[in-house]
Chains A and B, each alone.
Chain A
Amino acid sequence: MKTQNQRAWIFVLPVLLLVAFNALIPLMTVINYSVQETFGNNQFFWAGLRWFEDILRSERFHAALGRQVLFTITILLIEIPLGVIIALSMPRQGIGVSLCLVLMALPLLIPWNVVGAMWNIFTLPQIGLLGWVMNSLLGISYNMTVSPVAAWITIIVMDVWHWTSLVVLLAYAGLISIPEAYYQAARIDGASNWAVFRYIQLPKMKKVLTIAILLRFMDSFNIYTEPFVLTGGGPGNSTTLLSIDLVKVALGQFDLGPAAAMSLIYFVITLAVSWLFYTLMAKDEQ
């Protein structure tokens, strides 16, 4: 049982101050921008909720949000099952474990713009390995700067390449926490592989998988650097995800008001979905 102790606040205070400095001040700035209009020269005029109304009605925002949701759902549907399958088939002991973990974790530690640049080089039509195999060897026309479908497939494959390992690591961590006795009991009962998975492994992985889904949701919803370096949002606007659109508005056109309003709407969506997850999980634990 934890003790009730208000002095704990002193321990939490440094964290609180540092995070608040980084989170609250910029957030206040964004809120400040979102209700004002500027024509440069540091002159600001009150705009009320106009930007919010504009954005919520704008087709451009709907389109970017639609692409973002499609992207996030697609990569979750691929990465979570794939990560579980790989974790299930990984060795449990011996040299193979270290080897798998080290090699699989590698993509996680590559700077995000390097990931984008790497995939760019990898998929160049005549120079890149993938581009060459597709175009010259298999005769499939594949060029992401021209075809939106190719661009979409490439950013999804890139994300799967980049982040599936995180799901693998988490699922694997859940799996190795299952005592050997559970499996022995299952063998004695003559349980099928599916039954072992469904009634022993899946429940044990539930907690880590929820963390995996939460992390992947938050990070893929905020994804910016990799697709920006890879496709720049093109061809056309076909891979312009929310963050890319946002930066275009904020820094490209310097429309700070609409950009700020857009970020707040965006933040609230992420927050709402994550909060839902968090409460569902917390309820589950009790």
Chain B
Amino acid sequence: MKYRRLIPIIYILFLMLPIYWLLAMSFKTTNEILGGFSLFPQRWTFENYYTILTDPTWYWGYINSILYVSLNASISLIVALPAAYAFSRYRFLGDKHLFFWLLTNRMAPVAVFALPFFQLYSAVGLFDTHLAVALAHCLFNIPLAVWILEGFMSSVPKELDETAYVDGYSFPKFFVMIFFPAIKSGIGVAAFFCFMFSWVELLLAKTLTAVEAKPIAATMTRTASSAGYELGLLAAAGILTIIPGAIVIYFVRNYIAKGFALGRV
């Protein structure tokens, strides 16, 4: 039993090693990286971070990513809330099939849809906008949001709805004033997963943007092509993409485990 505590510790160490390496490399100059092996940066440099934070083509990548991720999370939640309510409270024609159909959209190989997506969004004139990426990410985020929210809503007793109607609440008023607070943590979990999957996805985001809405992860590919292989810059940019995720996890840490436990399939 004593050694049991070691398992999570070893696992976390294993998780941290590549991240540490990226961090160490982000403080090295390209010369030092290519010059030889060293566990710690010999001469600390903030040059890489400075470049990213002062060059608009770099930092706009971050702003673009954050913009479309927030837009996507808002759209997904706004449309998923009523749908999840319907799935959790009502039986209607084709509800089970519809639920499975929604889930199937998580299964579509994104690589397959890249080209048709490009054509579709070019045709409707949204190419290279934040809205295009936000809408495209709805493909896999809305099903997930509906799935998670439905689980949380089903754990709220139906008597709550009935009491509210008896008390004379209209449906919108009941939804916002009574139901909303009751599923607060569910909304948090759903928002977290929307954020997560939109933040990490690159293939669609890259396909649907050129300049104006280019995500940070796509900007990173520049380092490999122009001016040789700038590993230090690549590492610093990578580290900066981890930070928003880390902040979000910290805020929802008590809910993430619960999120899926309550979801139904």
Contact = CB atoms under 8 A, between A and B. Distances in A.
A86 B11 contact: yes
Given A12-B86, A100-B8, A246-B111, A4 B92 contact: yes
Interface string B199-233: 11111000000000000110011000000000100
Contact of A173 (B139, B146, B260): B260
A15 B80 contact: yes
Interface in A113-140: 113-114, 117-119, 121-122, 126-130, 132, 136
A65 interface: no
A165 interface: yes
B241 A111 contact: yes
Contacts of A169: 256-257, 260
A118 B238 contact: yes
B188 to A, nearest CB: 14
A233 B249 CA distance: 32
Given A18-B79, A169-B260, A278-B265, A127 B34 contact: yes
B108 to A, nearest CB: 6
A91 B102 CA distance: 36
B117 interface: yes
A271 B109 CA distance: 10
A38 interface: no
Contacts of A247: 111, 114
A185 interface: no
Contacts of B238: 110, 114, 117-118
Contacts of B85: 11
Given A256-B115, A281-B265, A267 B15 contact: no
Nearest to B13: A103
Contacts of B75: 18
B220 A114 contact: yes
B232 to A, nearest CB: 10
Contacts of B37: 126-127, 132, 136
Given A8-B92, A102-B249, A22 B83 contact: no
A285 B258 CA distance: 20
A266 to B, nearest CB: 6
A130 B93 CA distance: 56
B89 interface: yes
B217 A111 contact: yes
Interface string A17-53: 0110111011101100000000000000000000000
B136 to A, nearest CB: 6
B186 interface: no
Contacts of B114: 247, 250-251
A55 interface: no
Interface hub of A19, A161, A211, A275 (most chain B Cβ within 10 A):
A19
A5 B257 contact: no
A118 B18 contact: yes
Contacts of A266: 109, 112
Given A110-B242, A173-B261, A103 B12 contact: yes
A9 to B, nearest CB: 6
B181 interface: no
A58 interface: no
Given A15-B79, A169-B260, A5 B220 contact: no
A267 B109 contact: yes
Interface string B1-34: 0001101100110111111111001000000011
Interface of B: 4-5, 7-8, 11-12, 14-22, 25, 33-34, 36-37, 39, 75, 78-80, 82-83, 85-87, 89-93, 95, 98, 100, 102-117, 119-120, 135-136, 138-139, 142-143, 146, 196, 199-203, 216-217, 220-221, 231, 234-235, 238, 241-242, 244-246, 248-250, 253-254, 256-261, 263-265
21 contacts: A9-B86, A14-B83, A15-B146, A22-B117, A29-B120, A89-B8, A90-B8, A103-B15, A105-B253, A105-B256, A109-B246, A110-B245, A113-B202, A121-B231, A126-B36, A129-B20, A164-B11, A214-B265, A256-B115, A267-B107, A285-B264
Given A100-B8, A122-B18, 10 more contacts: A3-B91, A8-B89, A14-B78, A15-B146, A101-B253, A104-B11, A112-B201, A207-B265, A278-B100, A278-B103
Interface of A: 2-9, 11-12, 14-16, 18-19, 21-23, 25-27, 29-30, 85-86, 89-91, 98, 100-114, 117-119, 121-122, 126-130, 132, 136, 161, 164-165, 169-170, 172-174, 176-177, 207-208, 210-211, 214, 218, 221-222, 224-225, 242-244, 246-247, 250-251, 256, 263, 266-267, 270-271, 274-275, 278, 281-282, 285
